[in-house]
Every structure is written in C-alpha cells, then in structure tokens.
Amino acid sequence: MDYTIGLIGFGEVGKIFSHGLKQVSGNWVGAWDLKFIDPAAAPTELTVAAAYRVEACESMSALCARANLILSAVTASNTLLVAQQAAGALRPGTVFLDMNSASPGTKSKCAEVIEAAGGHYVEAGVMTSVPPYGIKVPMLLGGAKAAELAAVLQGLGMDASVVAEKIGVASAIKMCRSVMIKGLEALVIESYTTARAYGVEHYMIPTLYETFPGIDWNQQGAYFFSRVAQHGKRRAEEMQESANTVAESGFTPTMTSPIADKHDWVARLSAQGVFDGLKDDAPWQDYADRLLERARS
C-alpha cells in the first residue's frame, strides 16, 4: 500500500518525523497542530512546515482526508482526545500509529474509538529520546496490524519491531522504563542541586563515578537538567501516565507520582523564565544555581 502520511502534533517529535518521513518516502506528508491557527505561533510554524515540504493542514479533518497513515505525536494528556477527534474524521482503513507516552488503559481506550471508526490502531512505545536518532529512534509496536506496519516502517529506514498483537504491552514497556529514566532525571536534579547548596558536589559526584564508572555523571547531569527545563511539562504528563500505569496494575504509584510533581515544578519555573539565557551546552551547575537563586529569593 502506498501511504500518504499525516502527523498530528507539530512539536519537537512531530517536526522530526514529518521532515524525516518526507525525505525518505517521497510521498505526501501533512501535519495538523493547533499552533497552525494560533496568530502568535502560526507564522513560525508554517514557515518550518514549508521548509520541510510538509503541508500544514487547516484542520484535523483536512489531514484525515488526505492521510491513510496517521502518526499521533502529542502530549500525553491529549492522547485520548486526539484519538477521539481523529476517529470522527478518518477514512475507513486508515492506520493510526499512536506514538504518545500513555498508559495501557489510555491506549486501549484509543484503540476502541479508532477501531470503531473503521481505522486500524497500532500503539508505539518510543524507547528513548527522539532527537539523537530522528526517525530511526527504536520503537516497539503492538496491535493487530503491528507486523504489517512494522514492515512498512522498516522499509523507510525506521527501527520498528513488534512485541504483541495485544494493545497495552508496548505501552507498558515504555511506561515502566519511563519510571526509571524520568525518575533518575528527577533524582539527579534534586541530588545535584542539594549538593550544590551545601557546596559538597566536588565530593559527592566522584562517588557516583566510582560506583557507576560507565556514566559521565557531570555530562549526564547537564543533559538531564536541560531536557527537563526544556520539556518538563511534556515529561510531567508522561509521568502522570506512568503513575496511571502503576495504578492500573494494582500498585500504588508511591514513587511515580512525586516524579511527575518534580518535572512539573521544573516546567513551571522554566515557563517563568528561571532558565532564560542558558545555552544548550550549559553545565548542570548553571541550572542548579538558577534553582537555588529562586529558592532563596
């Protein structure tokens, strides 16, 4: 089948995938995002879409009228809403690839509405940060059409593998991993900033190198601080879905919910301009100092 590709969401991930898929497929690629009709954001977003040769659609319906392979790449809190909106407009037989970080329960609800509308729902667990990999980021697929879609995506150079026909398996893998990765980010921010406050980071961090010699803890710390500062809101929503995943399993998300709170806290400070002016390669100490300045003000 010759796919025409539509991206719902033109944020960091949506831009990377729409640009990459346009380059490798040569097919029509379109995108839809509320920013396209936001007077403040539209000029920049439409310019980027044009530069990528991606059609900026005027509505969800316009996107669904053209695309028979739709990739949903929105924030976790909008996962179900977007599936519901797409279900009202997609053509029968359309493949809906849900790349969002959501719990197995949320993904199952999305599958129900897409399948009821005559579409084919495939869930994807994106297993690491997208920017270093682009469209080659490792992802796990689940769903009745997962194997068929995986073959198509692999033909486009993507790293897609099937883990189950059942919806919820891929998302469970992704969410359990997120508890660890986003939890480590939250721990590093709290530990490093506290060490900085006491002036003991030069003693504490070398002990991490000794215990886990395979990790550059200063470099990794800087990366964690920067990613949470830039994308804390998205990460906080993902962690809330991770907390839902834990709760759906019958456990209480004693650790996971506070991780979401930490990411949300950093996101709110970032929105207030606490980290303004820091360069992309700023050391973690610069981020910690900004947090300490705010705490002491």
77, 221 Cβ separation under 8 angstroms: no
Taking 70 as the pLDDT cut, the residues of the chain under it are: 1
- Domain span holding position 206: 171-296
Residue 98, strand partner residues:
72, 123
78 shares its domain with 105: yes
Alpha carbons 224 and 284: distance in angstroms, whole number: 8
Alpha carbons 123 and 136: distance in angstroms, whole number: 17
228 shares its domain with 267: yes
CA atoms within 13 A on the CB side of 167: 23
83, 114 Cβ separation under 8 angstroms: yes
The per-residue pLDDT for 285 is: 98
Phi-psi region of 3 (alpha: psi -120 to 50; beta: other; left: phi over 0): beta
239 shares its domain with 264: yes
Task: Tell which of 116, 145, 165 closes a domain.
Answer: 165
181 shares its domain with 129: no
119 shares its domain with 228: no
Query: pLDDT digits over 218-246, tens only?
Result: 999 999 999 999 988 889 999 999 999 99
35 shares its domain with 114: yes
The per-residue pLDDT for 30 is: 98
213 shares its domain with 133: no
The per-residue pLDDT for 100 is: 97
Q: Across all residues in the chain, what is the average pLDDT?
A: 96
244 shares its domain with 155: no
CATH number where 199 lies: 1.10.1040.10
Query: pLDDT digits over 139-172, tens only?
Result: 999 999 999 999 999 999 999 999 999 999 999 9
The per-residue pLDDT for 2 is: 82
The per-residue pLDDT for 73 is: 97
Alpha carbons 285 and 196: distance in angstroms, whole number: 8
The per-residue pLDDT for 271 is: 94
